[in-house]
Chain A
Amino acid sequence: GAGVSQSPSNKVTEKGKDVELRCDPISGHTALYWYRQSLGQGLEFLIYFQGNSAPDKSGLPSDRFSAERTGGSVSTLTIQRTQQEDSAVYLCASSLGLIYSYNSPLHFGNGTRLTVT
């Protein structure tokens, strides 16, 4: 079946521009996460959506970052006034809900590679 889909796969933007990254989770998955992975680094948590609850935004690095999830499905991560340090791979993951359950681990997309010049 279809997995988590992210678009675009690559994005090059100039410093100061805004960018939008899209994530289509697996149908029926209620939990959605955004992570950021810099070269050779681990995954840095950004934001977490669970059903209709208020999102956990505790990982967003600055107020230039925001995300929304419409209709409990598609999510968009927006970075305003991009900086060079924002260059990274942005990964989206979805889950059936409770990732501590054996049956609902995280399913990741292949990410969007963002390069800010």
Chain B
Amino acid sequence: SQKIEQNSEALNIQEGKTATLTCNYTNYSPAYLQWYRQDPGRGPVFLLLIRENEKEKRKERLKVTFDTTLKQSLFHITASQPADSATYLCAPGAGNMLTFGGGTRLMVKP
């Protein structure tokens, strides 16, 4: 069955540094991959979408890569801020169906 792996341990970084989150998937060939942000007690909020024929996508301080050979996506936040502290969910997709990973909690310390 499909398996989406994100680092379950929290990632703690200092303000101003670049945060890098990893998403690995197995038994799956997604056509695209989305990243969402989730704050405590709230629903996930869409951040970025990248398709299988795209290597990299950027939006402001966010950058996503998608390596279909390694079956991996990396999510980067540059110049991180305490307000970036949240859980980030990776969601590979095919057709109209997403499969979500368990998320990685990011803590940015001032």
Contact = CB atoms under 8 A, between A and B. Distances in A.
A111 interface: yes
A108 B45 contact: yes
- In the complex, which of the residues B31, B42, B96 has the most CB atoms of chain A within 10 Å of its own CB atom? B96
B89 A43 contact: yes
B91 to A, nearest CB: 8
B99 interface: yes
Interface in B56-110: 89, 91, 93, 95-103
- In the complex, which of the residues A4, A43, A108 has the most CB atoms of chain B within 10 Å of its own CB atom? A43
By secondary structure, the A interface counts as loop
A42 B102 contact: yes
Interface string A5-43: 000000000000000000000000001000100001111
Contacts of B89: 42-43
Contact of A43 (B8, B44, B49): B44
B: contact size bracket: 20 to 34
B43 A108 contact: yes
Interface in A61-117: 91, 93, 98-100, 102, 105-111
Nearest to A91: B43
Contacts of B42: 110
Nearest to A35: B100
A100 B95 contact: yes
A110 B43 contact: yes
Contact of B96 (A4, A41, A100, A109): A100
12 contacts: A40-B8, A40-B102, A41-B102, A42-B89, A43-B89, A50-B96, A100-B32, A105-B34, A106-B44, A106-B98, A108-B45, A111-B43
Interface of A: 4, 31, 35, 40-43, 45, 48, 50, 56, 91, 93, 98-100, 102, 105-111
The 9 A-B pairs of least Cβ separation, nearest first, read A108-B43, A105-B46, A43-B100, A42-B102, A42-B100, A110-B43, A100-B32, A108-B44, A110-B42
